[in-house]
Structure formats: C-alpha cells, structure tokens
Amino acid sequence: MTALPPNPAADTLARLEATIAARAGTDPDASYVARLLAKGVGKIAQKVGEEATETVIAAVSQDEAALTGEAADLLFHLMVLLRARGVPLAAVLAELDRREGTSGIAEKASRPRS
Ligand SMILES: N=c1c2ncn([C@@H]3O[C@H](COP(=O)(O)OP(=O)(O)OP(=O)(O)O)[C@@H](O)[C@H]3O)c2ncn1[C@@H]1O[C@H](COP(=O)(O)O)[C@@H](O)[C@H]1O
C-alpha cells in the first residue's frame, strides 16, 4: 500500500479536537472552550451560525486576511459544536473520504425525485 503524504491540516484539526476535549469540564472563567461547552448545544450552534454569517460577509466584501480570520473562527466553533454533540472529527473526515471521487453533480442527479 502506498503511504499517504503528511497532512498538516488534519494534524491541526486533530490537535484542536484534543485541546477542546481537554477543556471540557474545566473552569469557564479560565477557558473560552469550557465556557462555550457549559452553555450547551443551542448557544454553540448559534455561535456557529453567527461565525458562518461573518465568514459569508468577509467572502463577499472584505479582504483575504479578514476571510481567513473568519474562516478560522467558523472552523473553531464548528469543532466545539461537534464536541458538544459527541461527533468525533474522524467521523466527519471519514464521511468526506467516503464522498471522495463522487461528483456532486452526479450525486445530486442520482437522488430520487420527490
Ligand atoms: N482557536 C481558538 C479560537 N478562535 C477563536 N476563539 C475565541 O472565540 C471568541 C469569539 O469571539 P466573538 O467576538 O465572536 O465572541 P464574543 O463576543 O466573545 O462572544 P459572545 O459572548 O458575544 O457570544 C473569542 O473569545 C476568541 O478568542 C478561540 N478560542 C480558542 N481557540 C483554541 O482553543 C484553545 C483553548 O482555548 P481556551 O479554552 O480559551 O483555553 C486555544 O488554545 C486555541 O487553540
């Protein structure tokens, strides 16, 4: 089997997932992650929605640096939301792996008509 090349992006997200897990249940006054998790899924989901909106605004009206920052905020809050719902990053990555090579256009065309 051919070895896969190193994947720094996946490493970064895996480290972030471990940090988020380590913060769960710690002092909310000392950790933003702990504070978010203590607020529950509803509040975290709301934050993800807000960060998604800010990312969209940056994409259409701001520079690359602003978009990069908002995208990082969005990914971070999404990772906290996954933790709050008990969905491991590996499950999301496995779903992306499963989709690899399937054209979005072909997949949509294969859906049963409603
Ligand atoms: N990547 C991040 C990260 N990105 C953004 N943020 C925080 O997310 C918050 C978002 O700011 P906003 O202005 O949108 O939100 P807010 O106004 O403070 O919140 P609201 O009360 O208005 O909802 C800020 O406090 C940012 O500092 C992050 N906080 C933490 N991390 C990572 O999580 C790790 C653990 O952080 P702590 O739990 O704080 O130790 C850190 O070492 C980082 O690796």
What is the ipTM metric for this complex? Answer: 0.91
Please answer whether residues 33 and 20 qualify as being in contact, where contact means their C-beta atoms are separated by less than 8 angstroms: yes
Measured from the CB, is residue 77 less than 6 Å from ligand 1?
A: no
pLDDT tens digits, one per residue of 82-107? 999 999 999 999 999 999 998 888 88
DSSP 27-86: -TTT-HHHHHHHH-HHHHHHHHHHHHHHHHHHHHHS-HHHHHHHHHHHHHHHHHHHHHHT
pLDDT-based confidence at residue 2 (cuts at 50, 70, 90) = low
Q: Tell me the C-alpha distance between 16 and 54, whole Å.
A: 21
Atom of ligand 1 nearest to the CA of 23: 38
Measured from the CB, is residue 32 less than 6 Å from ligand 1?
A: yes
Measured from the CB, is residue 33 less than 6 Å from ligand 1?
A: yes
- Average pLDDT of 49-74? 98
- Average pLDDT of 23-36? 98
Q: In this predicted structure, what is the pLDDT of residue 110? A: 87
Specify the residue with its C-alpha closest to ligand 1, atom 40. Answer: 31
Domains of the chain, with CATH numbers? 10-98 (1.10.287.1080)
